[in-house]
Amino acid sequence: MAGGAQDTGRRGDALSRERIVAAAVALLDTAGEGGLTFRALSTQLKTGPGAIYWHVANKDELLAAATGAVLADATTTAQGAPEDAIRAVALGVFDAIDDHPWIGTQLARAPAQPVMRQIFERIGRQVQALGVPAGDQFTSASALLNYILGVGGQNAANARTQQSGTDRTALLETESAVWANLDPDEYPFLRDIAGQLADHDDRAQFLAGVDLILAGIARLRQGPAAAGRPVPGRSPAR
């Protein structure tokens, strides 16, 4: 009896929720969301689907748990100045989506899941710490969240369209050459920035965008006039 109880304990450890979620992440990384089935998961864990259902009710719950596990670092309370904390959250989410492209789709499909609330909370706290007026906090935090998820998701979508082993530098140089030879009357801007496309760094460009939003938020702390909004009781300049 003692030996049997000990064996049951080992099986319980092997089939913990954490082990199941980790196996789900591995399946998602290799086979995508379509490849994540309870049958495939039970094969990988060398158990039956019933044992998995004991810990996870359905695929939606499993996807939410896997997303939360991968984004755990991005949803922890960041240290340092508010701007640095926001950059840390932003880069944490960006890097997680870059490493696990399926997360971008999952976040877009289920925006009300707990991990989204956690990310929004972390950003919102830092927006408050920046001294943003109460009436501007929701919009400021939303702008940051939407930018982070939008750019991270688009970066992941771009990666999914490329074949394995694609040379990013060669791909960008080819597209840059296309831009440089576009009609100058129809595409003057794209022609001007064609060279920047060829050698840009996605991560650095992403962070520069966060800084642009932070610069706009900083102006909100200086009052309506600095933010380019009409001052109550004062007629707009003509």
pLDDT band at residue 18, thresholds of 50, 70 and 90?
Answer: very high
Residue 11 has pLDDT above 50, yes or no: no
List, in sequence order, the alpha helices (H) in 36-81. 38-45, 49-53, 59-70
**Cβ–Cβ under 8 Å, residues 23 and 44:** yes
Three-class secondary structure of residue 63 per DSSP: helix
Residue 229 DSSP class: -
Q: For 63-120, how does the pLDDT look when each residue is reduced to its tens digit (9 = 90+)?
A: 999 999 999 888 776 678 999 999 999 999 999 998 998 998 888 877 778 899 999 9
**Cβ–Cβ under 8 Å, residues 36 and 59:** yes
Would you state the CATH architecture of domain 73-220? Orthogonal Bundle (1.10)
Q: For 132-189, how does the pLDDT look when each residue is reduced to its tens digit (9 = 90+)?
A: 999 999 999 999 999 999 998 887 777 666 666 667 778 889 999 999 999 999 999 9
Task: Output 161 or 1, whichever has higher pLDDT.
Answer: 161
Residue 121 has pLDDT above 70, yes or no: yes
CATH, range 7-69: 1.10.10.60
Whole-angstrom Cα distance, residue 119 to residue 238? 42
pTM of the model: 0.80
Q: Which long-range contacts (CB under 8 A, 24 or more apart) does 71-77 make?
A: 71/96, 71/103, 71/115, 71/118, 71/119, 74/119, 74/122, 75/115, 75/118, 75/119, 75/122, 76/122, 77/122, 77/125
Whole-angstrom Cα distance, residue 89 to residue 73? 8
Average pLDDT for 213-227 = 79
Handedness of CA 79, 82, 88, 94 (dihedral sign): positive
Please choose, from the candidates 12, 106, 117, the residue with its C-alpha nearest in 3D space to the C-alpha of residue 59: 106
Q: Which long-range contacts (CB under 8 A, 24 or more apart) does 109-112 make?
A: 110/60, 110/63, 110/64
Please choose, from the candidates 91, 83, 206, 210, the residue with its C-alpha nearest in 3D space to the C-alpha of residue 144: 210
Q: Which of 70-79 are b and which e, b meaning 16 or more Cβ less than 10 Å from the residue's Cβ?
A: bbeebbeebe
φ, ψ of residue 168 in degrees (nearest 5): -60, -40
Whole-angstrom Cα distance, residue 178 to residue 139? 37
Residue 222 has pLDDT above 70, yes or no: yes
User: Can you give the residue ranges of every domain in the chain?
Assistant: 7-69, 73-220
Whole-angstrom Cα distance, residue 29 to residue 99? 8
Angle at the Cα of 185 from the Cα atoms of 184 and 191, rounded to 5 degrees: 30
% of the chain surpassing 70 pLDDT? 83
Average pLDDT over all residues of the chain: 84
